[in-house]
Amino acid sequence: MNAIIIFALLTALMITGMPVSISLGLTVLTFLFAFTQVPIESVALKLFTGIEKFEIMAIPFFILAGNFLTHGGVAKRMIRFATSLVGHWPGGLGLGAVVACALFAAISGSSPATVVAVGSILIPAMVKAGYPLRFGAGVVASAGGLGILIPPSIVMVMYAVSTNSSIGALFMAGVVPGLVLAFMLGLTTFYRAWKYKYPKERRATWGERWTAFRESIWGLALIIVVMGGIYSGLFTPTEAAAMSAVYAFVVAVFVYKDLKFKDVPKTLLASANMSAMLLYIITNAILFSFLLTHENVPQAISEWLLSNGLGVVAFLLAVNLLLLVMGNFMEPSSIILITAPILFPIAMKLGIDPIHFGVMITVNMEIGMITPPVGLNLYVASGISKLGLSEMTVAVWPWLATMLVFLMLITYWPPLTLWLPRTLGML
């Protein structure tokens, strides 16, 4: 009964158009005040102790690094390198967009940032080269989703914080699935380009490829700094995030010199705004998680599911459907912070690996990024391409179908996720 009251309150507040973070906080306060004897002072205490986690510091640092890289000329050099490798195949610029998104994803940690960085350069270039606008916008919006699957990933940090999982193991678990999905999206791009006879670029010489690689090496080196540092034990994921922010600043301002000193405060302010928004959602979501635990909601749901004979296969299918529906109406951070405290204990009872479960949730969030009406990547790509939301929805469907096939693969074949962290001795 308490669970019904809690979720009815939350739903009612969200339907009014209230921001998710405030809806979560007000639900907690209203329920505690009206239905329990818990002193309201404990809410203030929980707000502070909830975000007193070292791992949460990774979020603002990864956001800052992503902003420096987006405005610091790293993206355009990566795009040049990507198109020099695959540009001579059918749909070369589309394939270049997929490769560039995968490379940029490995240094930014954010999907919208990846779409902005790659899309603002490649969508106009594709139209100029004779590609349909829908094709260009569709491929960039979809491949931009790799930003939260290929590590580092802000969404994975959110999951790790709300379930006390290992960020390092999650990051390593995202590598192979990220590469497989990039290959599948590339295959879809290639097939559509070949079928509709889209243009291809001239084949780059090995000299041109070497030059493009040499120019992009400062950006690509960040992948080694972050992943190598975490795996070798040189620094924790949070320290890796701080390192990447400093490194991105140095590369953008002093090496490539595409970001002027006068623009640095603006970049810092944009990062602070984004970080504040996410941290405010986190604090309220931690309060909500405290309320659920206090009322034994996750335990009651898991006992009900297990008593009704719901097995692993049916549970994972139900979770996918729930997350896909929620992905239509909410952004990833809010979904993870609301659902993880409920779904995670049930998954543990059913013997599902926490790292595999985290990657599966991340892939669901990725799909939510390109489904209307709240798909962030759709809005970003729509802003760049000037296509309406309904046109963008049609534009992404071939890649959306590919992602749904990939979701089934990742859900029911855990070795795809767990092989690398196990091989590296992280599990």
Give the pLDDT confidence of 53-66 residue by residue, as tens digits.
888 888 899 989 98
Q: Determine the Cα–Cα distance for residues 81 and 74; give it in Å rounded to an integer.
A: 11
pLDDT band at 204 (very low <50, low <70, confident <90, very high): very high
| Residue 257 DSSP symbol | -
Residue 229: burial class (beta carbons within 10 Å; 0-12, 13-18, 19+):
middle
What is the pLDDT confidence band of residue 358, given thresholds at 50, 70 and 90? Answer: very high
Q: How does pLDDT run across 231-281, given as a tens digit for each residue? A: 888 888 889 999 999 999 999 999 988 889 999 999 999 999 988 888 888
Tell me, what's the pLDDT at 310?
Answer: 78
CB atoms within 10 A of CB 36: 12
Using an 8 Å Cβ cutoff, are 105 and 220 in contact?
Answer: no
**The dihedral of CA 58, 62, 64, 65: what is its sign?**
positive
Q: Is the dihedral of CA 322, 323, 328, 333 positive or negative?
A: positive
Report whether pLDDT(158) > 80: yes
Core vs surface per residue 123-145: b (16+ CB within 10 A) or e: beebbebebebebbbbbbbbbbb
Helices 111-129 and 74-86 pack at an angle, to 10 degrees, of 50
Q: Would you call 205 exposed, middle or buried from its count of C-beta atoms within 10 A (0-12, 13-18, 19+)?
A: exposed
- State pLDDT tens for residues 127-149: 999 999 999 999 999 999 999 99
Q: Name the token pair of 202.
A: 């001239």
Helix (H) or strand (E) segment spanning residue 60: helix 58-71
CA distance 46 to 142: 38
Q: Cβ(95)–Cβ(56) under 8 Å?
A: no
The percentage of the chain sitting over the pLDDT mark of 70, rounded to a whole number, equals 100
pLDDT of residue 48: 81
Q: What is the mean pLDDT of residues 200-211?
A: 92
Per the CB < 8 A criterion, the answer to whether 9 and 30 are in contact is yes
First to last CA, the chain: 38
Greater confidence (75 vs 309) lies with 75
> CB within 8 A of 241, min separation 6: which ones?
57, 58, 59, 61, 62, 65, 152, 226
> Are the CB atoms for 151 and 174 separated by under 8 Å?
yes
Pick 403 or 35 by higher pLDDT.
Answer: 403
Instruction: Place 419 in a pLDDT band, splitting at 50, 70 and 90.
Output: very high
Give me the pLDDT at residue 295, please: 83
Range from 280-284, 351-355, 358-362, 393-397 carrying the lowest mean pLDDT: 280-284
Structure confidence at residue 21 (pLDDT):
82
What does the DSSP 8-state code read for residue 284? H
What are 303-355's pLDDT values in tens digits? 777 787 778 999 999 999 999 988 888 888 888 988 888 899 889 988 999 99
The pLDDT of residue 110:
85
Tokens of 12: 């009612």
